[in-house]
Amino acid sequence: MSEHSKLEEILKAGSLEEILGTAVPYPKEIELKGKISRETVEELSRIKKEPEWMLRHRLRALELFEKLPMPRWVVGIEELDLDNLILYTKPELEKEVRDWDDLPENIRKTFERLNIPEIEKKFLSGLTAVFDSESVYSQLKEEFEKKGIIMLPMEEAVKKYPDLVKRYFGKVFPPGEHKFSALHHALWSGGAFVYIPKGVRVPFPIEAFFVIGSALEGQFEHTLLVADEGSYVHFIEGCSAPMYKGFSFHDGMVEIYAHKNATVKFTTIQNWSRNVINFNNKRAIIEENAYVEWIEGSIGSYITYTYPSSVLKGDGARTAQYVVSLSNGPYLKDTGAKSFHVGRNTSSKIVSKSISANGGTNIYRGLVRIAKGAKNSTATVSCDSLILDEESRAYTYPHNQNDEPSASIIHEATTGRLSEDKLFYLNARGIKEEEAKSLIVLGFISEVLEGLPFEYVEVLKKVIELEFSEVGGVG
């Protein structure tokens, strides 16, 4: 198969099912399910052969999960029975995986359908692939290993670099933040640990790709990325799930620590099937003159809650957060971003673009807080909603708090409907109505698309096109 053939195959797909596929049974070595309890957590830790300190961390998180109330902002998850979920699944691997061909056929084909092996060969510095609860593939190009870069499945890093992991794990996004962050810390499995040494710049992206392979599955992957002083890295996170009956639950977490003068770009392309209830817990701590950029593309899922957040701890720290959310059909996207200014001369930028169609609902929750003493800091927020029919809804709940007289917050918000003039203009030039609507939507989110690699832009465009065409257009 040629270098571009799989991408071309995706771009020719006539339905989302052709891209996502349908769930196919695969051999499982271990499956852990039942009521969430101390015994369950201890069994998970035993299976993973974890050190005692990680078991203690899990049990503390479990206690918090049992005590914390359901967050007030969580709605519509009545169908989710946590006690009936498969909490941990270990796929059966017949041999050590050194190459894609070493994976079981059903698992390998899932990643091939999404073009992951070809993307890795073409432009990635490293890749971790997680299927259900376990990392099934992890490779870092040799030239970057020689520079001291660490990229390992999270479980391996816990054992191989315990002091380094303990320094950051759960310190950026603690388990006590809310009920589902506590649940994540109690049950986490899979994910990636990435460490970029001082002064090292990684020229090509590193990627982690997460797949939920079956119904009634819980996925709790944990990604911890540490960028040391003066380093640079672009990390891409892909999320997908095949079509299946019954709901699955994703409760992932990303912790980023950007040291002085470091730059981290973190991109998420989330295209879960419509059977997934999705929680994403993401936070970065940003030291002096460091920069963290979040790009969040939320396309699929039944319900999504995600608010990438940045703590601007050091003087001169900067962050930019770009969030695109599409709710097409009777689905809910509750998204936004958060910036906490602590250091002086810090700056944050939030750009949110939401599209609601065919009865879809988008909710924007944004938080900007500038602490007293964060002198001369600035924050800008742009929140734009596009509503494509009378049945769809968009709501915004911004919260801006400035406790520093020399600092400023600028907030702009717009809510618009599909312009008949634009539609008429494109129709007059021979562009069919469905295609015209897709073009209008892509133009609406173009500011965010500019920050993505070409392959991802093309696939994202195709997915958006299919989202609309499968329900007879977005109008």
Specify the pLDDT at position 12. 43
Q: Tell me the CA distances in angstroms from 299 to 128, 191, 289, one per residue in order.
A: 22, 21, 33
Is residue 388 included in any domain, yes or no?
Answer: yes
CA 468 centroid distance within chain: 22
CB 185 within 8 A of CB 196: no
Residue 403 lies in a domain: yes
Determine, yes or no, domain membership for 475: no
Kindly state whether residue 268 falls inside one of the protein's structural domains.
Answer: yes
Q: Which domain holds residue 236?
A: 5-469
> What is the total residue count of the chain?
475
CA distance 214 to 131: 10
pLDDT attached to residue 1: 40
**What is the pLDDT, as a whole number, of residue 272?**
72
Residues of the chain short of pLDDT 50, as ranges, are 1-20, 120-124, 136-137, 244, 471-475
The total number of structural domains that make up the chain = 1
How far is Cα 464 from Cα 43, in angstroms, rounded to an integer?
41
Q: Decide if 27 is inside a domain.
A: yes
**Inside any domain, residue 57:** yes
Residue 474 lies in a domain: no
Report the chain's C-alpha Rg in angstroms. 22
What pLDDT score does 472 carry? 39
The answer to whether position 325 is within a domain reads yes
CB burial of residue 430 (10 Å; 0-12, 13-18, 19+): exposed
Q: Supply the pLDDT for residue 276.
A: 84
pLDDT the model gives residue 468: 63
